[in-house]
Structure 1
Amino acid sequence: GTVTDRGWASDRLIRAAQSGDLESITAVVHGAHPHVRRFAAHLCASAEDAEDAAQEALIVLYRKIGTLRASAALASWMFRIVRNECLRRARRLVDSSDAPDAGPVDSAEDEVLRRLEAERVAAAIRALPDVQRRVLIMRDVLGYPGRTVAGALGLSTAAMKSQLHRARTALRTDLRGTPGVPPSA
Structure 2
Amino acid sequence: MSESVDTLNDTLLVARAQSGDLDAFEELVRRYQRGILRYCRGMLGNGPDAEDAVQDVLVTAWRRLPTLRAAEAVSTWLYRIASHRCIDIIRKRRPDGGDPAEREAEQTASESGRHPDTGPEGAVETRLALSELRHHVAALPVPQREAWTLRELHGLSYQDIADISGEPLPTVRGRIARARAALAERMDSWK
User: Which fold has the larger relative contact order, with Cα–Cα distance below 8 Å and residues 6 or more apart in sequence?
Assistant: 2
Structure with more of its chain in helix, by fraction: 2
TM-score (norm 2): 0.47
TM-score (norm 1): 0.48
